[in-house]
Amino acid sequence: MNSLHSFAFGLATHNSSAELIEAFYPMPCFKPSEALSDLLVTSFELAAMSNNTYTVDPDTAAHLVSELETLGENKLATQLSAMSASEQPVIACLVSVDAPPQSIPEAFLKLHLLSHRHVLPQELNLNGMFGVLKNLAWTNLGPIDLDDLPALQFAARLEGKFINVETVDKFPKMTNYVVPRGIRIADAARVRLGAHLGEGTTIMHEGFVNFNAGTKGAAMIEGRISAGVIVDENSDLGGGCSTMGTLSGGGTEIISVGKNCLIGANAGIGFPLADGCIIEAGLYVTAGTKVQLLDATGNLSKTAKALELASLTDMLFRRNSISGAVECIPLKTSMSLNEELHSNN
């Protein structure tokens, strides 16, 4: 039996050369049942331990809709029926093995799984995704291949119309694909598809969340969550602060922010921050930063790299305004968010 890791039915966008450039999956499925896996693997004759994408013709769609209804997968059947009735190309992306994505449909499926909260950041193999995705113009008319854009812009002008190019990027904004329950985003362009936003998360205007990154629960994000970084619940990233991701200089070290943490305005981290910790405003602490560890009375215990202190909870990281040394001292009280502000209902 070839149990699927994930799958989705979707609508595909092609360029003028009939090359698939983007895929939208309204109901991505993670770890489907054995009966559903069996149906899909058999219907598309998927080889064992492989990943592939198929065009779903009307006859296949009708057969699958009937079989899905028999399995009790009524929502999925309704979605597929609606897609097959449209004039848009319908695809089925089937993934048996969580390997580096080898195609655009597979890459988009994994990004959807993250933003639909089926998986957390770092739980999927996304190695090599940049080399798979195309750099596209994301417009009010949807994604457009950059080679097609000039002719389409000219044609639109001849009709007295205008194509608004919102971004030129490999990743679209998440909200054009899914808006998870219980969130607020002040500037949707600053949250990429593939971001994972836990319920209760608020992203303010200067907040940014990359793909394969995000929050586990209620959080206030006014700074940057870089690729690969996850912020636990009840934490606050202050205005202009930064977390160092593996793509932005963090190397192989996985950066995370624990529960009940505060990273002050214009501060930043390059090491995992344990629960209940605070980084004072303006202080950037990398994994190799030499930190003076103080006890509750302010006496020096030892000097260590910040990475060596990553397991310490309820600590304040600050810079001594006289000596300039970075210090770490136990906190007497913990940070908490305003529950009313983060209900987001």
Catalytic residues: 222
Q: Kindly give the pairing relationship between strand 213-215 and strand 230-231.
A: parallel
Nearest-5° angle of CA 193, CA 197, CA 198? 155
Q: What would the 3-class secondary structure string for 141-208 be?
A: CEEEECCCHHHHHHHHHHCCCCCCEEEEECCCEHHHCCCCCCCEECCHHHEECCEECCCCEEECCCCE
Q: Which 8-state DSSP code applies to residue 134?
A: P
* HSE-CB for 198 with a 13 A CA cutoff: 19
Cβ atoms of residues 3 and 37 within 8 Å: yes
> In the beta sheet, which residues pair with residue 221?
203, 237
The sheet with strand 165-169 has its strands ordered as: 142-145, 136-139, 165-169
